[in-house]
C-alpha cells in the first residue's frame, strides 16, 4: 500500500497566549513549526499578539476560561491537539474573607478545575493515538505559602498535584505531563492584580524572563520530566521553601501590601 506523505504540522493548544509566558511560548512554538490554536479573552490584545506571532497556520479563539462554558466552547472548537500548554491565569490579591464567593470560584476554576476539564477532554484521544504532551504552568506558590494570595496558591497547588499524578498514570501510554513552577516572572500579571509595587520591592535577582520559563519548561517537557522550576535561584532555594526560617524570609521579601 502506498503511503501518502503529508506536511501536516503538529497541533498545539496554548491558553493565555496574548501576553507574558503564553505569548513567549506561542512565539517559540511558531518558530518550531507548530500549528497553533490559541486562546485568550481580550479581543484587542489577542489580535495584537496574534499579529506578533506571525504564523499563517494558526488560529485564535476568544473565551473566558474562568467559566465552564468558556472551556466547553474551546473543547468543542479545537480538536485533537498533540500538545497542550495550559497557561492562562491571573493572580489575585486579597485578605482572607475579602474576596467574594463568585470571584473565588472563578479564580479556582481558571487555575485548576478548568485546566482539569480541558485536559480530561483531550486525554482519551491522546491515549488512543499513543502519544501526547501536556504542560501546565502552575507557580512556585504551589509549594510555598503566599499570604494574601491564598486562593491563588491553593489552586496552583491543587493543579500541581493533579499534574504529578497524571504524569505517573500516563507515562506508560507515551503521554508526558510537565508542571512548571515559575517564581517571579516579568509579565502583565502583577500590574493586572494591582501589585505594581512588587516590581520595585522584589529584588532584581528574583525576576526571570518569560522566555527563560519557556525554554526550561519546554526542555523539561521534551525530557518527559514531571516538574520543572525555571531559573537557577529558584532551583537553589527550592529545598528550603517549606522550612519556617526560609518561609519567613521569603514572606518578608515578597510581602503583598494593601492596595490602598
Ligand X SMILES: NC(=O)c1ccc[n+]([C@@H]2O[C@H](COP(=O)([O-])OP(=O)(O)OC[C@H]3O[C@@H](n4cnc5c(N)ncnc54)[C@H](OP(=O)(O)O)[C@@H]3O)[C@@H](O)[C@H]2O)c1
- The interface with ligand X within residues 175-194 (CB under 6 A) comprises 182, 184-185, 187-189, 192
Does 139 bind ligand X (CB under 6 A)? Our answer is yes
Out of 11, 12, 14, 22, the only residue in the binding site for ligand X (CB under 6 A) is 22
21 near ligand X, rule: CB under 6 A: yes
Q: Which stretch binds ligand X (CB under 6 A): 27-35, 85-93, 122-130, 245-253?
A: 85-93
Q: Which of 110, 158, 177, 179 binds ligand X (CB under 6 A)?
A: 110
Q: Which three cell numbers stand for residue 158?
A: 491543587
Using Cβ positions, the residue closest to ligand X within the complex turns out to be 20
CB of 127 to ligand X, least distance (A): 26
Q: Does 89 bind ligand X (CB under 6 A)?
A: yes
Binding residue (CB under 6 A) for ligand X from 64, 117, 209, 211: 64
SS (H, E, C) the chain: CCCCCCCCCCEEEEECCCCHHHHHHHHHHHHCCCEEEEEECCHHHHHHHHHHHCCCCCEEEECCCCCHHHHHHHHHHCCCCCEEEECCCCCCCCCCCCCCHHHHHHHHHHHHHHHHHHHHHHHHHHHHHCCEEEEEECCHHHCCCCCCCHHHHHHHHHHHHHHHHHHHHHHHHCEEEEEECCCEECCCHHHHCCCCHHHHHCCHHHEECHHHHHHHHHHHHHCCCCEECCCHHHHHHHHHCCCHHHHHHHHHHCCCCCCC
Minimum gap (Å) between residue 223 Cβ and ligand X: 21
Site string for ligand X, 237-256 (x = CB under 6 A): --------------------
Q: Is 35 one of the binding residues for ligand X (CB under 6 A)?
A: no
* 40 binds ligand X, rule: CB under 6 A: yes
- Verify binding: residue 135, ligand X, rule CB under 6 A: no
Among 41, 121, 161, 174, interactor with ligand X by CB under 6 A? 41
* Residues near ligand X (CB under 6 A): 16-22, 40-42, 45-46, 64-66, 87-91, 110, 137, 139, 182, 184-185, 187-189, 192
Amino acid at each position: 500500500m502506498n503511503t501518502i506523505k503529508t506536511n501536516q504540522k503538529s497541533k498545539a493548544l496554548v491558553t493565555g497566549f496574548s501576553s507574558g509566558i503564553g505569548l513567549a511560548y506561542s512565539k517559540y512554538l511558531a518558530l518550531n513549526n507548530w500549528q497553533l490554536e490559541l486562546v485568550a479573552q481580550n479581543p484587542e490584545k489577542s489580535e495584537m499578539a496574534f499579529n506578533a506571532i506571525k504564523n499563517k497556520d494558526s488560529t485564535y479563539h476568544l473565551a473566558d476560561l474562568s467559566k465552564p462554558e468558556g472551556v466547553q466552547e474551546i473543547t468543542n472548537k479545537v480538536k485533537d491537539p498533540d500538545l497542550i500548554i495550559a497557561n492562562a491565569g491571573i493572580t489575585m490579591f486579597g485578605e482572607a474573607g475579602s474576596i467574594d464567593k463568585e470571584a473565588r470560584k472563578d479564580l479556582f476554576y481558571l487555575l485548576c478545575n478548568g485546566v482539569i476539564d480541558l485536559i480530561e477532554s483531550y486525554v482519551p484521544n491522546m491515549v488512543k493515538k499513543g502519544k501526547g504532551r501536556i504542560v501546565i504552568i502552575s507557580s512556585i506558590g504551589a509549594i510555598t505559602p503566599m499570604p494574601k494570595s491564598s486562593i491563588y496558591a491553593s489552586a496552583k497547588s491543587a493543579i500541581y498535584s493533579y499534574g504529578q499524578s497524571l504524569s505517573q498514570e500516563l507515562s506508560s501510554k507515551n503521554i508526558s505531563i510537565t508542571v512548571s513552577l515559575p517564581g517571579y516572572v516579568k509579565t502583565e500579571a502583577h500590574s493586572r492584580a494591582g501589585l505594581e509595587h512588587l516590581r520595585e520591592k522584589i529584588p532584581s535577582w528574583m525576576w526571570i524572563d518569560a522566555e527563560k520559563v519557556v525554554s526550561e519548561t519546554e526542555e523539561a517537557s521534551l525530557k518527559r520530566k514531571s516538574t520543572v522550576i525555571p531559573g537557577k535561584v529558584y532551583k537553589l532555594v527550592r529545598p528550603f521553601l517549606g522550612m519556617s526560617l526560609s518561609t519567613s524570609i521569603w514572606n518578608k521579601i515578597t510581602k503583598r501590601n494593601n492596595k490602598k
